[in-house]
Amino acid sequence: MSSATEFPVPIETLSIDGTRPAVGDNVDVKVSGTVTRMVNDIAYVKPETVNDQPMPAPVIEPDDSMQSEGNRLRQLSQSVGNYGGE
């Protein structure tokens, strides 16, 4: 039924009477955006504002695959350097 998509929301727009939400809390969020495509009876929406504020840029956190790729590239560059007589 629902997608596992998450998007950034400024904490101050989720606080109620100064109390910040905790991980696992249910919150109400107002999202406005533009329909980017339609497939059958489903509209896909690109979010533009959340709680009447511009959508913040998502923070990219390195995951295991990104770290593994970085390690692989470092090892490859070292092996090429060693092969080149360095």
Handedness of CA 60, 61, 65, 66 (dihedral sign): positive
Residue 5 lies in a domain: no
Domain membership of residue 34 as a residue range: 11-83
Domain count of the fold of the chain: 1
* Average pLDDT in the chain: 81
**How far is residue 35's CA from residue 41's CA, in Å, rounded to a whole number?**
13
Residue 32 lies in a domain: yes
Residue 3 lies in a domain: no
pLDDT tens digits, one per residue of 16-34: 998 999 999 999 999 999 9
Residue 48 lies in a domain: yes
Residue 52 lies in a domain: yes
Which of 54, 58, 42 has the alpha carbon at shortest distance from 6?
Answer: 58
pLDDT at 29 (0 to 100): 92
Residue 58 lies in a domain: yes
- Classify residue 67 as left (phi > 0), alpha (psi -120 to 50) or beta: alpha
pLDDT at 66 (0 to 100): 60
CB 51 within 8 Å of CB 9: yes
pLDDT confidence tier of residue 1, bands split at 50, 70 and 90? very low
Residue 79 lies in a domain: yes
pLDDT tens digits, one per residue of 58-79: 776 666 666 677 777 777 777 7
Residue 33 lies in a domain: yes
- Classify residue 31 as left (phi > 0), alpha (psi -120 to 50) or beta: beta
User: Which amino acid, residue 39?
Assistant: V
